[in-house]
Structures are given as structure tokens and as C-alpha cells.
């Protein structure tokens, strides 16, 4: 899959600009704060309906303007698809696929796929389990609508269950809870199974990517920390029993203490927990390896690679790792952003350079 063009209208620091991308490697260059990440962000928006910068939607509207628009045309195995998102000050966005409005994010997902990586994605390795669950959710939701809808239902049921746990009338809790738990377990087991499968799939690929990027010096192991294994039915049985066993504790806490909302992923490098013992450089390589493995998982599941967006990643790697990274993205459309192009790193490689300056395309070189 590749994105052919991207049109930005009053989006962040752009007034009106159209990017034409090559099917291979694209490098957006320019000094700091010129609009490179803004363009990368716009592509991710078209895929998922939300910003990787996690701001409020209306903040993307160019200062002083009333509305903004992003539009892109991508080509997949199934032909061309156009996605357009219109933003307005009320913070509600309108989404159009092939000119037809869709009312749910679920309908946007799966039209254009991408894997996004930038320096703040280091939180995938460094920070709270929530960041790792977000990674799992975004990746799985792009590939499977049924995962996305199961997650939506799960979150809704979970918050209703948590409200019930705070209820002073314990009799009411005992009476009503089994009904919630039945539904909760149904969605939870789908989510856990999909995450387990995903991890089993990407762990060996990420481990291989990491060995490659680190020149074979480091051995990565990654695994899911959910504690539930087996098929959906087995997961459901164990989870149900655990919910029952934890009921008094949950009532005391006023929230549900077990379930997929507590899942985590562990990264082990040369035997040690990367989160605690890894250097910045090692953590960065782990996060990048996981993202490259994620790209492979799209290929495995959907038969084609996603658009790989690597924002500000090159500058953070040493030259040997930069070269290795560039050689490992040759089979998919890649959009790099960088302040400049190091000719020694790109030597012998074909790429399209798009220079941006102050929200405008200043120059294009192929």
C-alpha cells in the first residue's frame, strides 16, 4: 500500500499544499518547525482518525482559521481509495471515504494503513503499560475491525462495571454483576486472544530486526504479560473465575483489578528488562524493531505493507544503524522526516526528497 498524494488545507502551519509521494523512499527535509512532522501526522490521521500527538482535534486547524482539511489518495491491492477529513472548531470531524461520508471511526479504519514512529514513541519501551496497550490497540484495530469494536464494547462495559463496584448497596452488586461479567468476559477474551496472537507473531520478527540493527550484538526477547493463554474459551473460563475470586478486592478498590486493561508487554535485552536497564540507544532500537515487526505483521495479515512513517528517527541513530534501517525498508513506501540528508547514508539508494519551509513545499528532487 502506498499514499500517492496528500493535500493539506489550513492544517497546522499549511495553507494549501499538495504532496506527491513516490512509491519507495520519501524524505521530507527542512529546518526545525517548518512542517515536516505536521505532514507526517496528517498521513497517520487519514489511517486512524486521530493524531499521534494526541492533541485535541481542533488544535490542528491553522491559527486564525475556522476549518481545516486533509485529503489523501492511496493505492492498495484493491485499487485507489481517497480519504478526506474535515475539521471544524466544534472539535467534531467529518470523514469521507471515496467522497461518501462515514459516521464511525470503525469505518475509516482499514482503508489506509500505516505504522508511525517518532522519538516520542520511545514511551513504548520506557513508560507506562498504557502506552504499550495503545500500541497493541492501534495496530490491531487497523488490521481488524472486529478487534476495534470488541475494544469499544469492552471499555464501555468496564466503565459500567466500575461504576457498579462503587455502589454502596452490595446486594445490588451481587445481583447485577454476573450480567456485566458475562459480557465483559466475552469481549475481554477476544481482545486477549488477539493480543497474544499478535505478540507470538511479531516477537520473533522484532527479535530478528533488533539483532540486525544492532549488528548482532544484542538479543531481544519480548513477551505478553497478560497471564491468560489458550483459545478464547479457555481465556474466558480463567478470566471469569478470576473476576469472581477478585470480587471483594474490586469492591474495596472501586474498580476492576484484572482484565486486558491491565495487560503489558515485556522487553528483555541480553537478559535484562530494557525499561530498567536499557540505554536510550538500546531502547530506541527496541522500539524501532517492534515497529518494523509491526509493518511485517500488516504484510502477513493483509498481504501488503503499510505506509511506514519514520519521523525524526534517522538523526537519533548512529550511521551504521541508519544504513541498516534504510536497507530494511526497501520493500515498502517509507516517509522519513529529517533536518537534512546525509549523502553517505543514502549512497546508492533511490529516494524522493521534498523540502518544506514554513508550511510550504520549497523544492522536490527525485
Ligand X SMILES: Nc1ncnc2c1ncn2[C@@H]1O[C@H](COP(=O)(O)OP(=O)(O)O)[C@@H](O)[C@H]1O
Residues that bind ligand X (CB under 6 A): 12-13, 30, 32-38, 59-63, 337
Alpha carbon distances (Å) from 256 to 7, 116, 142, 238 = 44, 32, 27, 15
Nearer to ligand X, 43 or 205 (CB): 43
Q: Which of 252, 253, 274, 271 is nearest to 262 (CA)?
A: 253
Helices (H), 80-231: 105-108, 123-126, 129-143, 145-165, 170-213
- Stretch near Mg ion under the rule CB under 5 A, chosen from 9-17, 19-27, 37-45, 176-184: 37-45
Instruction: Quote the CA–CA distance of 121 and 54 in Å, as a whole number.
Output: 12
Of these partners, ligand X, Mg ion, none, which one is at the site of residue 35 (CB under 5 to 8 Å by kind)?
ligand X
Nearer to Mg ion, 278 or 359 (CB): 359
Rounded least distance, CB 296 to ligand X, Å: 27
Q: Is residue 37 near Mg ion by the rule CB under 5 A?
A: yes
Of these partners, Mg ion, ligand X, none, which one is at the site of residue 33 (CB under 5 to 8 Å by kind)?
ligand X
Nearer to ligand X, 63 or 248 (CB): 63
Q: Is residue 226 near Mg ion by the rule CB under 5 A?
A: no
Nearer to Mg ion, 36 or 195 (CB): 36
| HSE-up of residue 220 (Cα within 13 Å, Cβ side) | 34
Residue 28 main-chain phi, psi, to 5 deg: -90, 120
Spell out where 245-325 has E strands: 265-269, 272-273, 307-311
Rounded least distance, CB 93 to ligand X, Å: 14
Q: Is residue 38 near Mg ion by the rule CB under 5 A?
A: no
Rounded least distance, CB 353 to Mg ion, Å: 16
Query: Do residues 258 and 161 make contact, with C-beta atoms less than 8 angstroms apart?
Result: no
Query: Do residues 74 and 26 make contact, with C-beta atoms less than 8 angstroms apart?
Result: no
Q: Where on the chain is the footprint of Mg ion (CB under 5 A)?
A: 36-37
Amino acid at each position: 500500500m502506498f499514499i500517492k498524494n496528500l493535500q493539506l488545507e489550513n492544517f497546522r502551519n499549511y495553507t494549501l499544499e499538495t504532496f506527491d509521494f513516490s512509491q519507495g523512499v520519501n524524505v521530507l527535509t527542512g529546518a526545525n518547525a517548518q512542517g515536516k512532522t505536521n505532514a507526517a501526522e496528517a498521513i497517520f490521521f487519514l489511517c486512524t482518525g486521530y493524531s499521534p500527538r494526541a492533541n485535541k482535534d481542533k488544535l490542528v486547524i491553522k491559527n486564525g482559521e475556522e476549518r481545516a482539511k486533509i485529503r489523501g489518495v492511496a493505492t492498495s491491492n484493491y485499487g485507489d481509495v481517497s480519504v478526506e477529513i474535515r475539521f471544524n472548531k466544534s472539535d467534531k470531524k467529518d470523514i469521507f471515504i471515496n467522497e461518501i461520508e462515514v459516521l464511525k471511526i470503525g469505518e475509516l479504519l482499514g482503508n489506509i494503513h500505516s505504522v508511525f514512529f517518532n522519538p516520542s514513541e520511545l514511551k513504548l519501551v520506557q513508560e507506562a503499560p498504557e502506552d504499550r496497550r495503545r500500541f497493541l490497540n492501534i495496530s490491531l484495530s487497523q488490521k481488524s475491525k472486529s478487534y476495534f469494536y470488541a475494544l469499544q464494547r469492552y471499555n464501555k462495559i468496564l466503565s459500567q462495571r466500575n461504576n457498579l463496584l462503587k455502589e454502596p448497596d452490595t446486594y445490588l452488586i451481587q445481583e447485577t454483576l454476573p450480567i456485566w461479567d458475562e459480557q465483559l468476559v466475552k469481549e475481554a477474551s477476544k481482545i486477549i486472544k488477539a493480543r497474544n496472537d499478535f505478540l507470538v507473531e511479531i516477537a520473533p520478527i522484532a527479535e530478528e530486526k533488533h539483532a540486525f540493527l544492532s549488528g548482532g550484538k544484542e538479543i531481544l526477547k519480548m513477551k505478553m504479560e497478560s497471564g491468560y493463554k489458550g483459545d478464547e474459551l479457555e481465556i474466558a473460563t480463567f478470566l471469569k473465575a478470576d473476576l469472581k475470586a477478585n470480587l471483594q478486592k474490586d469492591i474495596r478498590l472501586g474498580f476492576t483489578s484484572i482484565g486486558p486493561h491491565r495487560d503489558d508487554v515485556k522487553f528483555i535485552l541480553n537478559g535484562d528488562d530494557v525499561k530498567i536497564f536499557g540505554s536510550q540507544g538500546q531502547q530506541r532500537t527496541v522500539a524501532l524493531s517492534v515497529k518494523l515487526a509491526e509493518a511485517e505483521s500488516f504484510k502477513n495479515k493483509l498481504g501488503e505493507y503499510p505506509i511506514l512513517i519514520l519521523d525524526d528517527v534517522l538523526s537519533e541513530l548512529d550511521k551504521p544503524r541508519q544504513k541498516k534501517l534504510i536497507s530494511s525498508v526497501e520493500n515498502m513506501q517509507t516517509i522519513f522526516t529529517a533536518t537534512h540528508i546525509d549523502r553517505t547514508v543514502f549512497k546508492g539508494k533511490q529516494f524522493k526528497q521534498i523540502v518544506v519551509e514554513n508550511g510550504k513545499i520549497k523544492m522536490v528532487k527525485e
